[in-house]
Amino acid sequence: SQTIHQWPATLVQPVGSPLSLECTVEGTSNPNLYWYRQAAGRGLQLLFYSVGIGQISSEVPQNLSASRPQDRQFILSSKKLLLSDSGFYLCAWSAESDTQYFGPGTRLTVL
């Protein structure tokens, strides 16, 4: 069966510091991969999605970037964090069925 992992689970970072969040999927090949942000009390905002290695689509211009160095690995990065980057970051994967399956999330607090 397929599983999706995210780490770290929680992160507290100062403003201006770099960021790297990692997501990996097991048990499937060539998944579509997604990064979402969920601000407090808000819905899900799609940040990036990827349909293959090195293929990244950005949905919202912002301080973040994404990379897919391996088939089942998706990384969310920033060179300099802003206060507004605080939130709950969710990674998800899907196959052709379009059903998305979510990871446990990373709580990021920027101080």
Partner 1 sequence: AQSVTQPDIHITVSEGASLELRCNYSYGATPYLFWYVQSPGQGLQLLLKYFSGDTLVQGIKGFEAEFKRSQSSFNLRKPSVHWSDAAEYFCAVGATGGFKTIFGAGTRLFVKA
CA dihedral sign of residues 43, 78, 66, 25: negative
Residue 90 CB burial class (10 angstroms; 0-12, 13-18, ≥19): buried
Under a CB-based contact definition with an 8 Å cutoff, are residues 75 and 67 in contact? yes
Cβ neighbours around 92 below 10 Å, total: 23
- Smallest gap from Cβ 94 to partner 1, in A, equals 8
- For partner 1, which is the closer residue by CB, 42 or 79? 42
- For partner 1, which is the closer residue by CB, 83 or 96? 96
- Smallest gap from Cβ 32 to partner 1, in A, equals 6
Q: Contact positions toward partner 1, by CB under 8 A?
A: 6, 32, 42-44, 46, 49, 51, 57, 88, 90, 92, 94, 96-105, 107
- For partner 1, which is the closer residue by CB, 62 or 102? 102
**Any residues with CB less than 8 A from the CB of 43 and at least 6 apart, and which?**
none
- Smallest gap from Cβ 63 to partner 1, in A, equals 21
Dihedral of the alpha carbons of 8, 10, 16, 22, in degrees to the nearest 10: 20
- Smallest gap from Cβ 79 to partner 1, in A, equals 26
- For partner 1, which is the closer residue by CB, 37 or 85? 37
